[in-house]
């Protein structure tokens, strides 16, 4: 029987004796100046992975940084997830959450096309927005409840019966 996502996550953390999660976000404004094309970006990301794989159990690419480049960004994302393989846990930082049918297709793409182990999701559209992501115990979902950005208070701290929405 396949191990659950939680079992695999704990196993990777135990093997590396670490709880580190490295974000693999490719912001062109923050990359070294010698990185100017997709091949050099891919090499740079792989160097980060190679330098940290012995002690990093989890990598988390933010999908927006790849999606903005269209098909080239998607190809890079696939290459990176393939490169990590089973050596670490991969989390798609996408904060997905939409009506059931749409979420079903998001889950299919994230888990079966790209091969991620887990995803970040937003529950605010209701249970059908997260159900497709939590049906397979070998895959993980991190449910967005409270964020740290300054404007989070605009919505997350709205109270009903004196209890903030995020709670």
72 assigned to active site: no
39, 46, 60, 95: which is the annotated catalytic residue? 95
Nearest in space to 143 (alpha carbons), one of 160, 124, 156: 124
In 3D, which of 127, 86, 87, 81 has the Cα closest to residue 103? 127
Q: How far apart are CA 57 and CA 160, in angstroms?
A: 39
The C-alpha atoms of residue 109 and residue 150 are separated, in whole angstroms, by 31
| CA–CA separation, 12 and 18 (whole Å) | 8
* Catalytic positions: 95
């Amino acid at each position: 029987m396949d191990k659950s996502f939680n079992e695999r996550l704990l196993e990777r953390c135990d093997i590396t004796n670490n709880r580190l999660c490295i974000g693999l976000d490719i912001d062109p404004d923050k990359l070294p100046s010698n990185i100017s094309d997709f091949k050099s970006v891919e090499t740079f990301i792989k160097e980060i992975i190679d330098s940290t794989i012995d002690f990093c159990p989890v990598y988390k690419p933010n999908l927006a940084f790849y999606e903005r480049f269209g098909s080239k960004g998607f190809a890079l994302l696939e290459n990176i997830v393939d490169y990590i393989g089973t050596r670490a846990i991969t989390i798609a930082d996408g904060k997905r959450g939409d009506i059931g049918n749409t979420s079903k297709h998001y889950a299919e793409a994230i888990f079966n096309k790209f091969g991620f182990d887990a995803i970040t999701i937003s529950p605010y559209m209701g249970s059908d927005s997260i159900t497709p992501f939590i049906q397979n115990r070998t895959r993980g979902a991190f449910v967005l409840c409270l964020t740290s950005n300054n404007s989070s208070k605009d919505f997350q701290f709205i109270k009903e019966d004196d209890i903030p929405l995020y709670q």
